[in-house]
Amino acid sequence: MKITLYATPEITAKPLIAEVILETKALLNIDRADVKPKGGEVVIDVPQDRYDEVTKAFEKRGARIIRLELPVIKDDDECVNCGACISVCPTGVISFKDDWSIEMDVSKCVQCGTCVTMCPHGALTLSE
Amino acid sequence: MGEKTIQDINARIADGSVHVVTAEEMPHIVAELGPEGAAREVDIVTTGTFGAMCSSGAWLNFGHSDPPIKMQKVWLNDVEAYSGLAAVDAYIGATQMSETRGMEYGGAHVIEDLVCGKSVDIHATAHGTDCYPRKVLDTTVTIDDINQAVMMNPRNAYQKYNVATNCSDRTLYTYMGTLLPNNGNATYSAAGVLSPIFNDPTYQTIGVGTRIFLCGAQGYITGEGTQHDPSNNFGTLMVQGDLKKMNKKYVRGATFHKYGVSLYVGIGIPIPILNADIAKATAVTDANITTNVLDYGVARRSRPVLRQVTYEELKSGMIDINGNEVTTSPMSSFHEARGIALELKESIRKGLFYPTLPVERLPNEGVSKPMKQIKEQPTVADVMASRVTTIKQGLTVEDAAKVIMEGNFNHLPVVSDEDKLVGIITAWDVAKAVAQNKRDKLDDIMTRTVITADITEPIETTARKLEQHNISALPVINNKNIVVGIITSDDISKLMTRR
Ligand code: SF4
Ligand code: SF4
């Protein structure tokens, strides 16, 4: 499952993620990191069974954690099932079902946003 | 065998005994029964396509205002429509962009809003005459308030389309969608087996006056489409239908990121199976239809063809380009195309749709000509400075500083012993290096990935590169990567003002 870690400038200076990995020994995978002067935003893939422990470890260090339920949302009224979004997704989230309609395995989404601009019908949005 | 007539088929529709199948079902039937048997068995094959058809638009007649106006210019929700005809007729083109919202909203969206029954703001201006005194008009209408609303599309239902990929190293935004660098993906247009013209490639039943499914309404083919290119299997159709009777599901405004607006249009064409020849043509499958994969990294009319592929390969989701597996995705919807073929099949079975034969055949030979250009586009060779100073790789920053100072210019290409381009140094790079006391090797400070202009490329392409990378000069190279000149944004602006 995926979480977004929000960190203030003071704590982005510390090796936060390394500390948490060492402490929990959980295999964390960084999907996307965006560190700006006003703070950092990192999307992290966390093994399902370690979620509570990892969240606590981050929170203890002053970071805010939000669980990404649906990283990318499709508006079914706008989607025409063209499939244009399929080939630009770096992680293979989107695919055709047997009937040529679209299905999404959002657990693989890294919120890069490429599919959002590719979609000619404005059917896709990233969640906050 | 005896041929069937359209009257025989229509009589079967009337008495409920007609046998209709979609173009996806037909290949199996022909494989089993042969063309003769299939022609006896099947009366009509339905086709369908649903995708971006930029050459679309609608004629609108607003009725007369009081006092009357002869609209010279007219905008619908800030999108300009063409009104250079009698007083209150206008043609709203699908790709015209909003003057306030840009490419996020355009003519296609106005047409969609009309079909959805939404109200649309009209603003018109005129010079005023004795018979049409009014100079400005502002009102709001829905599709029910206007007299005629007729979709009239000069070029739709392309028989097939090229596959787009991008060999360059930057992301491209095109009417074929986002094309990722280094062949990161490939996009295509999907109808394939359901493509109307591929199911009747000799235009025996598709012609002027053929009744079609147009966005849920019954429309007609009015002629060959513009750029009709039947000899190269790039046939197109001109179509018309009543916007007021259309289904919003099949009229969908679209925006291609950083490219512009288009309209997704749904078209279905019934092919009456009059004889074995027609039956045989409708047995076409994705495996029989080939198209070219083009490199959109080259912004010229003739883009390099990388290979041929069949629709079967494209639809597998992956094709091989120069030894790499490249993910494909359609830009048009096969799911909706299939839905259209099925909906048309149902309407025929229910006796709601009667196919017609053409009153005039469309040309089944001929090609589309390129544009005749009398003032040829200047190329880089015409504009560049061919006296360019370069510096050899391996020299020092000091050497470079001297050359730049003597020559009084900003850009110094670095070349190998064979004169091949290996990097570039600017006056700024040198100044910075000197300030940081890095005076020795040029190699340490030069930029290695150099943006270059090809000596044969049109000046427009070069101007775009300068703008995109926000730089002021490019070394010009020939096909052996040897520096043959330099071109600056100054050279280009001088040329533009001369024209
Ligand atoms: S590109 Fe947009 S409209 Fe097409 S399948 Fe993806 S979400 Fe749907
Ligand atoms: S946001 Fe990126 S990773 Fe997520 S579905 Fe879209 S393209 Fe794939």
Whether A101 and chain B come into contact, CB under 8 Å, resolves to yes
Q: pLDDT band at residue A7, thresholds of 50, 70 and 90?
A: confident
Q: What is the pLDDT of residue B498?
A: 60
Name the pTM for this structure: 0.79
Q: How far is B332 from chain A (nearest CA, A)?
A: 5
- The nearest alpha carbon in chain B to A119 belongs to B256
ipTM field? 0.79
Burial of B16 (0-12, 13-18, 19+ CB in 10 A): exposed
Q: What is the pLDDT of residue B14?
A: 97
Do residues B328 and B164 lie in contact, with contact meaning Cβ atoms separated by under 8 Å?
A: no
Check A100 against B338: CB less than 8 A apart. Answer: yes
Handedness of CA B419, B422, B426, B432 (dihedral sign): negative
- In this structure, the residue with its CA closest to atom 4 of ligand 1 is A82
Residue B414 amino acid letter:
V
Among all ligands shown, which has an atom nearest to the Cα of B252? Answer: 1
Query: What is the whole-number distance in angstroms between the Cα of residue A111 and the centre of ligand 2?
Result: 5
Check B177 against A81: CB less than 8 A apart. Answer: no
Do residues B25 and B34 lie in contact, with contact meaning Cβ atoms separated by under 8 Å?
A: no
For chain A, the straight-line distance linking the first and the last C-alpha, in angstroms and rounded, comes to 16
Cα–Cα distance measured from residue A32 to residue A10, given in angstroms and rounded to the nearest whole number: 20
**Mean pLDDT to the nearest integer, A38-58:** 86
Whether B109 and chain A come into contact, CB under 8 Å, resolves to no
Q: Exactly one of B54, B116, B131, B215 is catalytic; which is it?
A: B131
Active site residue B215: no
pLDDT in tens, chain B (499 residues): 468 999 999 999 999 999 999 999 999 999 999 999 999 999 999 999 999 999 999 999 999 999 999 999 999 999 999 999 999 999 999 999 999 999 999 999 999 999 999 999 999 999 999 999 999 999 999 999 999 999 999 999 998 889 999 999 899 999 999 999 999 999 999 789 999 999 999 999 999 999 999 999 999 999 999 999 999 889 999 999 999 999 999 999 999 999 999 999 999 999 999 999 999 999 999 999 999 999 999 888 889 999 999 999 999 999 999 999 999 999 999 999 999 999 999 999 999 999 999 999 999 888 888 887 777 778 888 888 888 889 998 888 888 888 888 887 889 999 998 889 999 998 888 888 888 888 788 888 889 889 999 988 888 889 999 988 888 899 999 888 899 999 988 888 877 766 5
Q: What is the pLDDT of residue B499?
A: 55
The DSSP line for B396-426 is: BHHHHHHHHHHHT-SEEEEE-TT-BEEEEEE
Per residue in B454-487, pLDDT (tens digit) is 988 888 889 999 988 888 899 999 888 899 999 9
Do residues A90 and A110 lie in contact, with contact meaning Cβ atoms separated by under 8 Å?
A: yes
Among all ligands shown, which has an atom nearest to the Cα of A95? Answer: 1
CA Rg value for chain A: 17
Nearest CB among B52, B327, B336 relative to A87 is that of: B327
